A = this chain, B = another copy of it.
Amino acid sequence: MEQIYELFNKIKDKQPLVHHITNSVTMNDCANAVLALGGRPVMADSPNEAAEMAAQSSSLVINIGTLAEETVELMLKAGKAANEKGIPVIFDPVGVGATQFRSQSAKTILANIDCSIICGNMSEIRALAGLPSSGQGVDSGDSMDGAEELAKELAGELKATIAITGAIDAVSDGERTVRIQNGHPMLASLTGTGCMTNSLIGVFAGTENKPFEAAAAGILAMGLAGEKAYRHLAANEGAGMFRVRLFDALSTLAVEDLKKGARING
């Protein structure tokens, strides 16, 4: 936990540049989430520059929410450039399992890039692990039972930090495993909260290359922001104002909020 607070405090000095190759639905939200937390977002998705941009970034977030064949190729280019420089790669396997193309693309990515952190919902992580999964579209259809065990096992297998998001999140690097109980159900009523969580993880991982702490910190930040956003809602307010308050909360998050609010069990 102390290491999460330290990581948080270092963002301000580092102002990590978080490169994204991501989907077109939520990229604006992701950019604003990175800025709110104190990072600097960049999104360059041409094969002509993705690798060059990745090589000068603090971290690289790969998100397959809207995927084309060419995109997979440039993810590989950018991911390899990041790997060569020791820049952490965060992989958000959006909708894996829903179509053969996504599942195949995820396999190709994992086979060719060393991902530091993989963060998805239960159906996505089950699909990555080769287990039957019942996701629909980009939503999870599986219960969180056994999330910690699955995260730990897959982390060992893929040599990466695995984060499974849900009502209670599980994060494991194969040796250490934690449960995070922060968050609010209204987060599910907005598109892109999963994508934004990965972008926040990108900010932490780009501040210092500590994948396990970065994954937990990113999930915690989103969870606490969701809780705070909900607390500031007035009667009659709904998804519109919740989204506004979420960004308010992210941009005013203080280390004290983390210390007071974190519900993490080792």
B-contacting residues of A (Cβ < 8 Å)?
A: 17, 19, 23-29, 31-32, 35-36, 40-46, 48-49, 52-53, 56-57, 65-69, 95, 98-102, 136-139, 189-192, 232, 236-241, 243-252
Contact = CB atoms under 8 A, between A and B. Distances in A.
A137 B248 contact: no
Contacts of A69: 46, 48
A101 B247 contact: no
Contacts of A99: 44, 48-49, 52-53
Given A17-B136, A137-B19, A56 B239 contact: no
A49 B28 contact: no
6 contacts: A25-B31, A31-B191, A32-B191, A46-B66, A48-B67, A243-B244
Given A48-B101, A240-B246, 10 more contacts: A40-B137, A42-B98, A44-B99, A46-B68, A49-B101, A53-B99, A239-B248, A239-B250, A241-B244, A244-B244
Contacts of A137: 17, 19, 40-42, 53, 56-57
Contact of A240 (B31, B66, B237, B245): B245
B35 A49 contact: no
Given A25-B28, A28-B28, A100-B52, A248 B252 contact: no
Contacts of A100: 49, 52
A240 B244 contact: yes
B98 A56 contact: yes
Given A56-B98, A69-B46, A98-B53, A247 B238 contact: yes
A22 B43 CA distance: 13
A122 to B, nearest CB: 16
